[in-house]
Structure 1
Amino acid sequence: MLKRGLIGLLALVVITAGAFWLLSAPQRLDAAALPAEGSGDAARGERLFWAGGCVSCHAPSSAKGDDRLKLTGGDPLVTDFGTFHAPNISPDPKDGIGAWSLADFANAMQRGVDPEGRHLYPAFPYTSYAHMRPGDIADLFAYLKTLPPVGGRAPDNELAFPFNIRRGLGLWKRAFMDGPGPIAALPADASSAVKAGQYLVEGPGHCGQCHTPRTLAGAGGLALTHWLGGAPNPEGKGRVPNITPGGSEIRAWSQSDIVEYLTSGFTPEFDSVGGAMVEVQQNLARLPDEDRTAIAAYLKAIAPVADASD
């Protein structure tokens, strides 16, 4: 009887382990969804580079001038789950992404899977980049290949159990990763500028990653019913503001006020941008005027969310 019970328990363990292994397997893009190798345009890709704020994570905060384009990995991101280190994404063939194909890059950007088939941690905002158009992924890759190749690998992430089990991210993705469609419901008569802003905010700009709270005490996906409604600072100091029309900090701002803030860093009250938003604003200031106008139009068009009570 005992032997039969042990055999049954062993069988259950094997079945459970097999199910975990299958359900947590990395899922790559379908070949039909991939842009053609070499199809990207670097000039167009530069716009996506600044919209995505790549330098903010992949270059040291102390870098100035042209050194900001040496993407060897930025400052550590210290969170409740451990410390993350952004990797080298320069075109160095050994330590960076110089040996990657466009398919490798697209799968990292939109599926969170590296060329070795390992899950990437969502500290890299691939759940937002999943909303990007394939052609824009190709353009961004083309631009990155024009930047200086720089050797040197970033340190490994410093994560405690169970967060150091990468395979478990496959289950996280199944539970929380969005599809490629838009997030916010727009008015039926939304202008082309509002729709352009939606793409920039929800996709390459990945604004929701900081401005939207997460489920499961911060370990889950974005709480889309509170889209852009403000969230705890992932680095533990204060809150990231509510940037919907219901947010107390920008409720009274006009569309032109938002454009000016994104352009110059100054608020209508003659205050200046602060904290982590400093670098974001500097990146967005490099976009064409129509992109900042589109972002502002979108932020004024989305549904208002009340400020959190905490």
Structure 2
Amino acid sequence: MAGKRTRILLSLAGIAVVGAAALFYLTLPAPLPEAHWAGLGEPDTANGERVFWAGGCVSCHAAPGSEGDAKKVLAGGLALKSPFGTFHVPNISPDPAAGIGSWTLAQFGNAMTRGVGPGGEHLYPSFPYNSYARMTPKDVNDLFGFLKTLPASANVAPPHELPFPFNQRIALGGWKLLFFNDGPRAPLSASGDQVKRGQYLVEGLGHCGECHTPRNPLGGFKSGEWLAGAPNPEGQGRIPDITPGSKSIGQWSEADIVTYLETGFTPEFDSVGGSMVEVQQNMARLPAEDREAIAAYLKAIPAL
């Protein structure tokens, strides 16, 4: 009887070891191979600048309080408070020591689209790679080329201030296993190139869902509530529902949305406020067809 019990315990222990090893393997950082980023040629820096504004890089990576051309000095330093602790935005200027000046395209691309740092470590999803995962290799290459044209800064951002267990990057592999994906966020009621472009901008480059979609206790998007509004990550008020069924933007026409993104004025003659101010200023720098594509997409997602 004792021998049988021992065999059972050993079998269970073996299953646990195999299960733990499988889980560890499944949650390892998974960068794309070097070949994925090869052969892209010289970057188109004009398109890179378009990607730069669509991606809202200055909103987080410019030094706090910077204005005008100083916003293009991506020195980092902004403190992002969250339920998991405080994240300090890094320097992504071309400085080879403090910034990303010594990075390869593959390292940059894997950070942007896979959430893997240059040393092979998991990155925290306070950096919205869960949205940027939808970026095309061309746009990644063009953005990287454009960033190299910007001024360098030697500023070194402080380390993140995260309590245990959130300071354990190994746990991010489990988070990615649960929530990381590069697929469509919601079914669409319309198709065509314009809506597809809007989907790419809203779900990918513009990472609109990072603020406008509610999250579960683990920080993943709540299923079936894409762009349905969420608590303000800055701590006050609420980020609005921007689906077609909302009481605010849901009543706007596509032209109203386009005007808002261009000018910052609503159909009710109100003006943009809060953290959306900088987002709108970024969107105003895009070609008109991009703002029109965003509006078309926002009318094509499900009403909640």
CA distance in 2, matches of 1:56, 1:110: 19
Residue among 124, 133, 138 paired with 1:135: 138
- Aligned identity (percent) is 59
CA distance in 2, matches of 1:252, 1:13: 54
CA distance in 2, matches of 1:210, 1:14: 39
Give 5+ residue unaligned stretches, structure 2: 1-5
Alignment of 1:225-236 (within 5 A): 225-236=224-235
Q: Residue 183 of structure 1 corresponds to which residue in structure 2? A: 185
Superimposed CA distance per residue, residues 70-107 of structure 1 (whole angstroms, 9 cap, x where no aligned partner): 10104200111100011000010011000000000010
CA distance in 1, matches of 2:148, 2:101: 7
Q: Residue 301 of structure 2 corresponds to which residue in structure 1? A: 302
Is this contact kept in 2: 1:212–1:224, CA < 8 A?
no
Q: What amino acid sits opposite 2:208 in the alignment?
A: C
Cα distance, 1:236 vs structure 2? 2.2
Structure 1 pair 205/35, CA: closer, same or farther in 2 (3 Å)? farther
Is this contact kept in 1: 2:77–2:158, CA < 8 A?
no
CA distance in 1, matches of 2:65, 2:123: 26
TM-score, normalised to structure 2, is 0.92
Q: Residue 204 of structure 1 corresponds to which residue in structure 2? A: 205
Alignment of 1:92-171 (within 5 A): 92-171=95-174
Structure 1 pair 59/7, CA: closer, same or farther in 2 (3 Å)? same
Q: What amino acid sits opposite 2:240 in the alignment?
A: P
Superimposed CA distance per residue, residues 197-253 of structure 1 (whole angstroms, 9 cap, x where no aligned partner): 1111111000011111112xx423212411111111222222110001111111211
Q: Please give the secondary structure, in 2, of the residue aligned with 1:203.
A: helix
Q: Please give the secondary structure, in 1, of the residue aligned with 2:81.
A: strand
Give 5+ residue unaligned stretches, structure 1: 306-310
User: Mean alpha-carbon deviation: is it higher for 42-51 or for 218-227?
Assistant: 218-227
Cα distance, 1:184 vs structure 2? 2.3
Q: What amino acid sits opposite 1:166 in the alignment?
A: R
CA distance in 2, matches of 1:141, 1:96: 13
CA distance in 2, matches of 1:145, 1:172: 32
CA distance in 1, matches of 2:220, 2:130: 9
Q: Residue 277 of structure 1 corresponds to which residue in structure 2? A: 276
Cα distance, 1:38 vs structure 2? 4.8
Q: What amino acid sits opposite 2:67 in the alignment?
A: K
CA distance in 2, matches of 1:8, 1:301: 53
Q: Residue 289 of structure 2 corresponds to which residue in structure 1? A: 290
TM-score, normalised to structure 1, is 0.90
Is this contact kept in 2: 1:92–1:151, CA < 8 A?
yes
Q: Residue 308 of structure 1 corresponds to which residue in structure 2? A: none
Q: Residue 51 of structure 2 corresponds to which residue in structure 1? A: 48
Is this contact kept in 2: 1:198–1:295, CA < 8 A?
yes
Cα distance, 1:15 vs structure 2? 5.8
CA distance in 1, matches of 2:237, 2:38: 41
Is this contact kept in 1: 2:40–2:138, CA < 8 A?
no
CA distance in 2, matches of 1:133, 1:190: 20
The alignment yields a C-alpha RMSD, in angstroms, of: 2.4
Q: What amino acid sits opposite 1:132 in the alignment?
A: M
Is this contact kept in 2: 1:90–1:144, CA < 8 A?
yes
Structure 1 pair 230/136, CA: closer, same or farther in 2 (3 Å)? same
Paired positions, count: 301
